[in-house]
Amino acid sequence: MRSPGAVFRKLKEAKFRRLVALYKKLLKKIPDNCKYNYGYKFIGSDNKPYTIKLCLIHKNFVDLKANTHLIDICQTEEDCKNCNGFIPQCSKEEIRMIFDNELKTKNIKESKYPEICALEWALERYEVGMPPISWLQALYFKVKNAILRTKIL
């Protein structure tokens, strides 16, 4: 088995990788992540529900001198990349809070982050400690250490 330090470093790496993946997912420039994107639902002529994503940006906040233009309908990733008014829904601090709250909730952590649960379980095993040794084992270790010390001196 690995040492507790190695398991702890592996746990930190796993948490960091998952947090970076969440940052990439929630800060990606797609319509669902934009603060001003709104899904307008309507029923089509064939009586099926449809959703169209609209950009509800206030034009006075946007730099209109840029080479890109504002888009009223923002359905695809390409539309969002061409919009100069994209603002993410969540800041990095909010994403970090979301991640921490998911790790605090046992059910979510078990389903979304099984490798983190496994590493935390391994660390808990180290914290519990070794089972107590018998008096014979203790005597053996004391004699062994005494012999090793006398050979060194």
Tally the domains of the chain: 2
Backbone φ, ψ for residue 84 (5° rounding): -90, 10
127 and 52 in a single domain? The answer is: no
41 and 70 in a single domain? The answer is: yes
Residue type, 76: T
For residues 143 and 149, give the distance between their C-alpha atoms in angstroms, rounded to a whole number: 10
95 and 146 in a single domain? The answer is: yes
How would residue 147 be classed by pLDDT, with cut points 50, 70 and 90?
Answer: confident
Angle between helices 4-27 and 92-104 (to 10 degrees): 130
In a domain, residue 128? The reply is yes
92 and 135 in a single domain? The answer is: yes
How would residue 24 be classed by pLDDT, with cut points 50, 70 and 90?
Answer: very high
How would residue 31 be classed by pLDDT, with cut points 50, 70 and 90?
Answer: confident
72 and 113 in a single domain? The answer is: no
In a domain, residue 81? The reply is no
Q: Note down the domain range covering 11.
A: 1-29+86-153
